[in-house]
């Protein structure tokens, strides 16, 4: 039988990933104990040449990371930590993140920060749901400046269809678990987005701001 | 054991319904044989004082109805027959039926005809899905004239949210089984509509144009 | 990157909505922090000409609202706050809210208060589930006085079908998450209501008393 | 390897079942070829002391059975054949089968015939759905004579709750696949019935008239 | 608007039910506050001629009932209280309750007590799951003495099929939410039981020991 | 753009698989046209050293294979073709395939033939469902001779739990789509089997006789 | 009532879309009759400056299009027609379409042709599923030349995770309805792809080759 | 009524199981109270000849077991206790347990310990998910030494397909509830694994490390 006592027993860090794919390492904190996350944080301390993101970090996770990497940037709105704290110089096209409602903010923020730490310039547009179309119509010129747009929405998830019909950039849609009853934890907006009647919409997992920001950064990468 | 041989054995017609609720009798044809439907048609022949609708009627159902009621109106687009053929004089408020796409036409037509045969004036607006917002925005003045609006949409089902945000009349949303894959036979637009972020939207069963038209006619009934 | 520090960063209030749609502003509290809700309450303080509702408010949300709007009406049964506290003069037709069981009371109360704050006269009828038909049959005359009826039920969700068969007013059905096991959080009564065999039933989201009351108020609006 | 060529290779008839459980043998025809069903029919020919039922029999299945057992009773309404054709003398309590709508007739008839061939007296009541409560209320005295009641309903599946509230006999509820859209092939009435708010309701599989009739016959068996 | 302040506002007790259906009143405690339950307990105190059951009662619910009805019987295993505490004299056939595993005990106990308070003699057989067939086979003679059998099982839910194949009495199957993963809160055994390959099995809601005991008591009622 | 005209454009045969994993090549015919399957059959003609199986082959697929490989063995019961036609000499432990009902025969036969063509000795046991336990109990000695047991069952899917409790060999469970209603195309037995209360049961996809036979052959492979 | 007799009654063509979004018009043929599709084809004949695609076209749809546009390109593998037939000069980055299996070819071809008619250079890689990793590993250099990669897979849907781990370009994943049983019409690979453990994967609807190709063309558009 | 007061009332221990099936007794702790588990632990104390496992044990369960069996081995990583503490001498083939990610460790450890206490030699390989293929490719030689391989994975669940394509041993796949959103508590990897495109994969319940380890030990048992 194996002895399950140290880092090697529960995680094989993949620091060659930056070289292989050109993007940061990300540690998904949920489902890991704070002490596991802390051990990983300590292990990356020797590699300031690589950006490391800690996503979906609870307060306890954040504390463990900051113990090992005191100067890490902690964005509580996005439940995310980044180290080294300063994002790379922005290159490539603009990534704009659009959130339908206030309650979608955590996910939207996670998407924006991820794209920013992958090196893109970013903007955030909040509370422009389709129940009041004038709000999104007022932002069309802003949206058309983007090379990739992340649209975050819960409940009816109708916003990506509307946005995709107004721009020619690709739209990455993120359903959120905001809502209740027949929202079924985000299933409703997920299905809405998969059936978007406007072409140019792709979907990531419910609440997956990290994945959306990552994809948008890849789309908007410099040629 | 019961002998299952005549009308009494398989249907108890409810011709007192008009008196009780003030609305026509409707025969849902699917799941009945043409000869059962024909027998019902023959039975209502003696009651021209009551409007009878035959809904979701296949060609074979229609033939059986027309054999018994040769002057019935048959609308193949809406898969519906009405007898007597002339609708009542229009009273009450306007019922407007909006269809997102061409493929939603059967359901929209069923809704419109039902509302018309319940005595309301009606209008039909087709192919105004949210992928091209200019189409629905161009019709806002028309929509604002209605006392009740039926919105029919498949796929992402986003149109009712958008319409409800533009008017003050109640919106009756009808998801359709148009689409494929993750539309799951209409489940996707059904969930979208139940989670509409604009208030003022109520939902009926997938493809249930009859129910939507009936409800809209009740809403727009004269005081 | 955006700075996420004040109201503008997480909410774009839509105080023009009253003018546009003729109905109050509603703040859905779940998924917002008490301090976010409190900031919104402070922002509406300058607009006593508009009714604002705070729905699905926890005790902490209520406390935050009352700190900013001390005279707001707080109805703990309906988990709702309204400001200004006095509802508008009642106009239009009667909205009657019917609840199948005691456990459906929160949702029923939310529906009733919403309709009342949108300006309709309202009545509430409780504990008249179909397991004892005599209870609902004893109230038929009351039900027939209504211009719009909201029916709230969990578990088998059978009550709206029965009510719709007894009246000619439109029925807005609200499934609730009351129940266990195969009630699947309200899925069972939701499906029952969508398949109501009586015409004249439309459905809103599980537990969505606000949406039902809003729709009923629109239906019963003065001509 | 096994040679798959004769009856023994695909079916092990269980003619001891009557002795063991006191009830007939039943052959479920769907999923068997007509020739397999015909071979089984030929095999039971030597056992006229045992009632054999062939359920969910297509026209082709019926033909194959009748070729082997020419005097078998074929009830096309119930898609069922019985041999020997004469049912046993009726003993025990009355089994009443109630069908909400005309489209539920096949299942209701299967239930009635099964109960009758298990030896109970039976009655059939058709087209008494809850949309017109007066129809079921007019039959209460009839229902109260039964020792066991089978209630067959599709769509909203609300009838068993209502019936169970009116009688003291046990109710066996059978959801049917009648309906469309959010009926989801009978899932909607299945869930409704499992959540019946009146006690005294048990549920069998969608469209399972045979199982319901069998259970009702067991309940009403002579002491 | 209604004033929601006393018992009449949230519950209409149905003490005529005993006369109408011949069975006790039952109060489903979940979803009611302890003070609501206590008010109901106080209201039934004047009617010792009727048995009242309080089901799915938490410790707080039990305390509220006992405050009003100090001599009520409280069975913590079954989460049930009964008042008056002494069950009726046992009449009719035997009701046997069978539980597949130890974890199914609460539901099984609820079923047994319900049947007993409806007036039947009862027995309880525990931990006889199909993984060790010898356990259930050793009890066949006991099972054959019953007029109605309740079988409670979670996980694979296979026990009712096996029991129904061994006896001629009707089997009422109760799926439980015991298990994890693909048990999906009791969905797995629910589907298993609905598809039982042995006839004579009817199903009630997941964890619904009360409903199963009630039905079994009706089946085994004296002629 | 690519030119889609020959075998290379739609299939990359993997004839090195035998070497790499030690097992035959299998062509899943469903979703391929008969002419695509025929082209593949022609391509393997030059490799009689490798066993090739064509699974889920319709009559048209079979015809196309036999045109290219006239001496292939075609087993219509199992919807399978094998070439070269003679199976390998049997080595390793016995694989026994058990089918609950006659309707499960196609899947059971596919499993048996697959295991046989992978080189194991096989046996087939049919129609031993749990509704009549004596049938499976009569075969326990046979079952205990097996090194691996495949159990095929639809509807309640209870047989694998029972079999696994009787033997010490591993059980590979195959749910089938036999049944109707709440069987939901095999979902019911799939969930039953995943929740088997006896340890030693693993599950493959609904109707996947090929996968089960393959796995059983691997389990029973000679040391 | 509306008269439903000509093109204007069922479709509002959106020929301004090219100007607005810079991409072709697409006509989704399923759910439209051949004569409706033919009328649309006739209507676009006057606009050879705009590329029009007819997707998911049956043979009857294709015939109707070719009657109106005899020189349209018809690709039966992809169930797609394009007019004018010559695709635009290729600009922007390479779009590579990868199909896991032969049965995924229709969807893959639809994706490739869509991207090509939107103006990108394209390549197609077929039959490189993860069951034989050497196949996809052999193509890594090819994959790394792409600016956007579409990965089409049914059954386990595992290929996009593997591909995304090998490249730095964005991956658009398309689940297909290929498979049976627990593939549930494409639900299985859809969920797999939404949960891809490699970042950089976005998902479109089941079988939606058109949407994937469109999105990939947008991603790879020239700066 | 039964008196529910001692061990016999809630559990029938099956200590003959070792003889009958040749494997240890296992106590599934979830859903049992610590005192029930403690009573069972006390009951097995007299049988040190049989290995007893306590699975899914919370800290409170562990404490209760250790009070009765102070020298039991408690592995907190695997939430499992074993008594007697020393595993049997290892015989038969190697069982290798592979975990895709760190968060899958509890389940993987439960599988490994179960196989070890059933008498097999075991190895554990952690954090080799498909997003970085080089990690699993680096371990192929290790994997090929195993007689049975358990693969534990959440989220996309793609690892078993990949592993099965690289080895000739049978693969037992365990989906885990690791993940969020469209992972739906493990449903996503469960479906992925059931649809594995490589043959040789069988699946157990979500998070069921015990079942997987048991099955693998049976597969790798000495001849």
pLDDT of residue F141: 94
Judged by a CB distance cut-off of 8 A, whether residue A22 touches chain C is no
Whether G181 and chain F come into contact, CB under 8 Å, resolves to yes
What pLDDT digit, counting tens, does each position of C162-196 carry?
A: 999 999 999 999 999 999 999 999 999 999 999 99
| F14 pLDDT above the threshold of 50 | no
- In this complex, the chains that touch F, judged by 3 or more CB pairs closer than 8 A, are D, E, G, H
Phi first, then psi: give them for residue H163, nearest 5 degrees: -65, -45
Six-digit token string for C89: 């003069």
The kind and range of the H/E element at F81 are strand F80-83
| pLDDT, tens digit (0-9, with 9 covering 90-100), for E156-171 | 999 999 999 999 999 9
Spans of chain D below 70 pLDDT: 1-22
The proportion of chain C whose per-residue pLDDT surpasses 90, expressed as a percent, equals 77
Instruction: Check CB contact under 8 Å for D135 and B14.
Output: yes
G109-131 CB burial, b ≥16 within 10 A, e <16:
bbbbbbbbbbbbbbbbbbbbbbb
Decide if A121 contacts A112 (C-beta within 8 A).
Answer: no
At E175, give phi and psi (nearest 5°): -75, 145
The residue written with tokens 């993949």 in the block is A14
Does residue H214 carry a pLDDT above 90?
A: yes
Q: Does D113 touch chain C (CB under 8 A)?
A: no
Closest residue in chain B to residue G20, using alpha carbons only: B132
pLDDT for C13: 46
Confidence tier at C22 by pLDDT (50, 70, 90)? low
Closest-CA distance of chain G to residue F29, Å: 9
What SS3 state is found at E154? Answer: coil
Q: Does E36 touch chain C (CB under 8 A)?
A: yes
Tell me the residues of chain F between 142 and 171 that have a Cβ less than 8 Å away from chain G. none
CA distance A81 to A26: 10
Chain F residues close to E187, C-beta within 8 Å = 191
H208 at interface of E, judged by CB pairs closer than 8 A: yes
Is pLDDT at F6 greater than 70 in this prediction?
no
Return the structure tokens found at D89: 């003398």
Mean pLDDT throughout F111-137? 93
> Which region among C33-42, E47-56, F99-108, G128-137 has the lowest average model confidence (pLDDT)?
G128-137
pLDDT of residue D19: 52
**B102 and G32: CB-CB below 8 Å?**
yes
Residue E18 pLDDT:
53
DSSP H or E stretch at residue D96: strand D95-99
Residues of chain H with CATH 3.40.50.1970: 95-219
Name the closest residue on chain G to residue B108, using Cα atoms.
Answer: G10
Rounded to a whole number of angstroms, the distance from the CA of E199 to the nearest CA of chain F is 8
DSSP string, E2-21: ----SHHHH----TTHHHHH
Tokens 């694989």 belong to residue: F95
Q: Does residue F162 register a pLDDT over 90? A: yes
CA gap E170, E163 in Å, rounded:
10
Burial of E141 (0-12, 13-18, 19+ CB in 10 A): exposed
Contacts of F223 (CB under 8 A, 6+ apart): H93, H223
CA atoms within 13 A on the CB side of C50: 23
CA distance B45 to G194: 57
Chains C and D touch (3+ CB pairs under 8 A): yes
Contact D203 E204 (CB under 8 A): yes
- CA of C182, closest CA in chain B: separation in Å? 19
Residue E14 has a pLDDT of: 47
Q: Which helix (H) or strand (E) holds D105?
A: helix D105-117
Chain B CB contacts of D102 under 8 Å are 10-11, 31-32, 36
Contact C117/B at CB under 8 A: no
Helices and strands of chain G, counted as H and E runs: 10, 9
Model confidence at F13: pLDDT above 50: no
Any CB–CB contact under 8 A between D58 and chain B?
no
Return the ∠ at Cα G213 (arms to G208 and G217), rounded to 5°: 150
Give average pLDDT by consecutive 10-residue segment, chain A, 223 residues.
Answer: 49 49 83 91 91 96 97 96 96 97 93 97 93 90 96 96 94 96 96 93 97 97 89
D138 in contact with chain C, both atoms CB, cutoff 8 A: no
Does residue G132 sit at the F interface (CB-CB below 8 Å)? yes
Kindly state the average pLDDT of the residues B194-209: 95
Q: Chain H: give the shortest CA distance to residue E87, in Å.
A: 10
Residue F9 to residues E122, F4, G132, Cα–Cα distance (Å): 70, 5, 17
Of residues B172, B168, B173, the one with CA closest to residue B216: B172
The answer to whether F and A touch (≥3 CB pairs < 8 Å) is no
pLDDT at residue G173, as a whole number: 98
Residue A180 to residue C11, Cβ atoms within 8 A: no
Report the distance separating Cα F52 and Cα E207, nearest Å.
Answer: 50
Question: How many angstroms away from the CA of B4 is the closest CA of chain G?
Answer: 39
pLDDT at B131: 85
Strand-pairing partners, residue C74, are C81
Closest CA to C179 of C161, C195, C156: C156
Q: Model pTM?
A: 0.93
Structure tokens at B157: 């089902």
Which of E168, E210, E218 is facing D21, going by the closest CB pair?
E168
Which other chains touch chain B, taking contact as 3+ CB pairs less than 8 Å apart? A, C, D, G
How many other C-beta atoms are found inside a 10 Å radius of the C-beta of residue H20? 14
Residues of B in contact with D181 (CB under 8 A): 175, 177, 185-186, 190, 205-208
Go through chain H and tell me how many residues it has: 223
- Going edge to edge, which strands form the sheet with D148-153? D122-126, D95-99, D148-153, D171-175, D201-203, E201-203, E171-175, E148-153, E95-99, E122-126
Q: Is H188 on the interface with G (CB under 8 A)?
A: yes
pLDDT tens, position by position, E194-216: 999 889 999 999 999 999 999 99
CB H110 within 8 A of CB H209: yes
The answer to whether the Cβ–Cβ distance between H197 and G100 falls below 8 Å is yes
What's the mean pLDDT when you consider all of chain B?
90
C42: burial class by Cβ within 10 Å (0-12, 13-18, 19+)?
A: middle
Which of the four pLDDT bands, split at 50, 70 and 90, describes residue E131? Answer: confident
Closest CA to G140 of A214, A23, F18, A21: A21
CATH architecture of A95-219: 3-Layer(aba) Sandwich (3.40)
User: Which residue ranges in chain G fall short of pLDDT 70?
Assistant: 1-22
What does the pLDDT read at residue A19?
Answer: 52
Break chain D down into helix, strand, coil percent, rounded to 5. Answer: 40, 15, 40
pLDDT tens track for H182-208: 999 999 999 999 999 889 999 999 999
In the Cβ-directed half-sphere of B208, how many Cα atoms lie within 13 Å? 31
Q: How many CB atoms neighbour CB D53 within 10 A?
A: 25
Nearest CA in chain B to A201: B131
Q: Are B203 and C202 in contact (CB under 8 A)?
A: yes
Instruction: Report yes or no: F64 at the E interface, CB cutoff 8 Å.
Output: no
F195 touching E (Cβ < 8 Å): yes
Cβ–Cβ gap D195/C156 under 8 Å: yes
Q: Does B43 touch chain G (CB under 8 A)?
A: no
Contact flag for C and F (3+ C-beta pairs < 8 Å): no
Predicted local confidence at residue H104, as pLDDT: 93
Q: pLDDT tens digits, residue range D159-170?
A: 999 999 999 999
Contact between residue D202 and residue D171 where contact means Cβ atoms under 8 Å apart: yes
Q: Which residue has the tokens 């409703």?
A: A188
Residue B157's nearest CA partner among B183, B123, B122 is B183
Q: B196 — contact with chain D (CB < 8 Å)?
A: no
Asked whether at least 3 C-beta pairs link B and D within 8 Å, the reply is: yes
Phi, psi torsion values for F88, nearest 5 degrees: -60, 160
Question: Which pLDDT band, with edges at 50, 70 and 90, does B15 fall under?
Answer: very low
Say if residue E22's pLDDT is above 90.
no
Biggest alpha carbon–alpha carbon distance for chain C: 64
Q: What is the pLDDT of residues D58-87, one digit of tens each?
A: 999 999 999 999 999 999 999 999 999 999
Cβ-based contacts of F204 with chain H (< 8 Å): 194, 201-203
| Contact in structure between C83 and C44 (CB atoms under 8 Å) | yes
Q: Dihedral sign, CA of B98, B101, B104, B109?
A: positive
Task: DSSP for C90-120, please give it.
Answer: P-SS-EEEEESSGGGHHHHHHHHHHHHHTT-
For residue A132, the model assigns a pLDDT of 85
Q: Which residue has the higher pLDDT, C102 or G120?
A: G120
CB pairs under 8 A between E and H: 61
Which residues of E fall within a CB distance of 8 Å from D194?
190, 203-206
Instruction: pLDDT band for E13, please (50, 70, 90 cuts).
Output: very low
The alpha carbon of residue G17 is apart from the nearest alpha carbon of chain H, in Å, by 34
Across the interface, whether the CB atoms of H196 and G164 are under 8 A apart is answered no
Condensed to tens digits (0 to 9), the pLDDT of residues C53-97 reads: 999 999 999 999 999 999 999 999 999 999 999 999 999 999 999
Q: Cβ contact (<8 Å) for F191 and E193? A: no
Is residue F211 within 8 angstroms of chain H, CB to CB? yes
The answer on pLDDT for B80 being more than 60 is yes
pLDDT of residue D20: 53
Q: Quick one: pLDDT band at residue B210, thresholds 50, 70, 90? A: very high
Q: pLDDT exceeding 90 applies to what percent of chain B?
A: 77
C201 touches chain B (CB under 8 A): yes
Distance CA A96, CA G155 (A): 34
3-state secondary structure of B205: coil
The answer to whether residue A115 neighbours chain G at the CB level (below 8 Å) is no
């Amino acid at each position: 039988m194996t002895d399950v006592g140290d880092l090697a027993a529960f995680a094989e860090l993949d620091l060659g990933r930056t070289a292989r794919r050109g993007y940061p390492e990300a540690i998904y904190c949920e489902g890991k104990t704070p002490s596991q996350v802390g051990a990983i944080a300590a292990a990356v301390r020797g590699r300031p040449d690589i950006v490391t993101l800690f996503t979906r970090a609870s307060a306890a996770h954040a504390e463990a990371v900051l113990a090992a990497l005191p100067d890490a940037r902690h964005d509580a709105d996005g439940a995310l930590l980044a180290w080294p704290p300063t994002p790379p110089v922005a290159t490539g096209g603009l990534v704009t993140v659009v959130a339908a409602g206030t309650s979608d903010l955590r996910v939207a923020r996670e998407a924006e920060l991820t794209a920013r730490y992958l090196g893109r310039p970013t903007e955030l547009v909040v509370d422009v749901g389709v129940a009041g179309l004038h709000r999104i119509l007022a932002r069309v010129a802003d949206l058309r400046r983007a090379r990739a747009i992340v649209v975050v929405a819960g409940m009816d998830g109708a916003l990506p269809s509307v946005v995709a019909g107004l721009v020619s950039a690709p739209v990455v849609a993120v359903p959120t678990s905001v809502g209740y009853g027949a929202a079924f934890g985000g299933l409703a907006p997920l299905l809405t987005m998969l059936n978007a009647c406007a072409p140019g919409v792709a979907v990531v997992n419910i609440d997956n701001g990290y994945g959306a920001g990552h994809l948008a950064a890849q789309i908007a990468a410099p040629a």
